[in-house]
Amino acid sequence: MILFPKGLSLGRHKRHPLKPAQAAHVQSRQVKKSIKKDKLNAIEKSLEILITFTNTNHELSTGEISKLTGFHKATTSRILSTLVEYGLFAHNDQSRKYSLGPLAYRLGLSRVSQSIQHFVEVSSPYIDRLRDSTNESISLEVWSGTGTIACYFAESRDPLRVSMAQAEILPLHAPAGAKAILSFMHCEQVIKMLDYEFEVLTKNTLTSKSELLRRLETFNRQGYATDNQELHLGIYAIGVPVFDRLSKPVAAVCMVMPATRMTPEKEAEAVRCLKRTANAISTELKSLPNASFRFDPMQRS
């Protein structure tokens, strides 16, 4: 038997109440921990939503994203709203669906900036010469998997000219560059990529997939694609694809001008010049070892 001094109890020691200042400090720490945990949870969920788009080129609704991630629909909607504000996602008001936004693509562009920079270094002299000889704005657009990104732009010196921001993200179904690339891809792949609701950008924008597919067949036969005010009213563009060493379309050289300047004679001359430039760039790419500039901003390493 163990004897304890008189008056010593084996029960729980009586807790002394915290002073007001101490209690406030403890409560503050608990609140901060809770906020930090909530923030981490929100970040993790945001990343999960971003990862959802690594396996799709299509727009997704809030319900579809909620189902894929397992998050509550209200939580998904709240996170998507924040991501749209920061430019990581874009919201299509017509379809009420979401797609990757400009910031996501620019982040992806920086990830492969060295490869893109090398591509621009090879191509820019040809683009500049074409701008100088035609006095029209010329863009070099790289395939992104869901459209094209303007990685280099030589602006016309004409007072009435078209401007374009470098790294501007262009959709899949309207611009000449994207259609020029699509027209030389496998039909099954194109059909899969076009499995989304076309956003109406102007009164000339095509909304029929079957009609776009028919036009892509024509573009393939003639070796170039056109954008007759389908992306922006008042702007006409012609695009010719650039091929890598595997003969896959990876980019496009485009001439962009005010629609008022376009005539059949001008288009014929523009096509000849664009094909000559695109062929020269393709030849440069094919002579480089392991040269590939296919760009997918959300592709996993």
Sign of CA dihedral 100, 106, 111, 117: positive
Torsion, Cα 177 180 183 188, to 10 degrees, reads -20
pLDDT digits (tens, 9 = 90+) for 222-240: 999 999 999 999 999 999 9
**Separation CA 59–CA 101 (nearest Å):** 11
**Percent of the chain beyond pLDDT 90?**
46
Higher local confidence (pLDDT), 106 or 43: 43
pLDDT surpasses 80 at 7? no
Domains annotated for the chain, with CATH where assigned, are 26-100 (1.10.10.10), 106-287 (3.30.450.40)
**Separation CA 187–CA 253 (nearest Å):** 22
| pLDDT confidence of residue 33 | 47
pLDDT band at 58 (very low <50, low <70, confident <90, very high): low
Which residues 6+ apart lie within 8 Å of 280 measured at CB? Answer: 126
| pLDDT confidence of residue 269 | 97
pLDDT band at 8 (very low <50, low <70, confident <90, very high): very low
DSSP string, 107-174: HHHHHTHHHHHHHHHHHHHHHHHHHHHH-SEEEEEEE-SSSEEEEEEE---SSS-----TT-EE-SSS
Identify the top-confidence range among 48-62, 86-100, 183-197: 183-197
| Mean pLDDT to the nearest integer, 260-278 | 97
Whether the predicted model's global pTM rises above the 0.75 cut: no
CB 295 within 8 A of CB 105: no
| Mean pLDDT to the nearest integer, 117-139 | 93
pLDDT band at 301 (very low <50, low <70, confident <90, very high): very low
DSSP string, the chain: -----TT---SPPPPPPPPHHHHHHHHHHHHHHHHHHHHHHHHHHHHHHHHHGGG-SS-B-HHHHHHHHT--HHHHHHHHHHHHHTTSEEEETTTTEEEE-HHHHHHHHHHTHHHHHHHHHHHHHHHHHHHHHH-SEEEEEEE-SSSEEEEEEE---SSS-----TT-EE-SSSSHHHHHHHTTS-HHHHHHHT-SPPP--STT----HHHHHHHHHHHHHHT-EEEESSSSTTEEEEEEEEE-TTS-EEEEEEEEEEGGG--HHHHHHHHHHHHHHHHHHHHHHHHSTT------TT---
Directed axis angle between helix 113-134 and helix 264-287, to 10°? 140
Q: Of 101, 146, 158, nearest to 296 (Cα)? A: 146
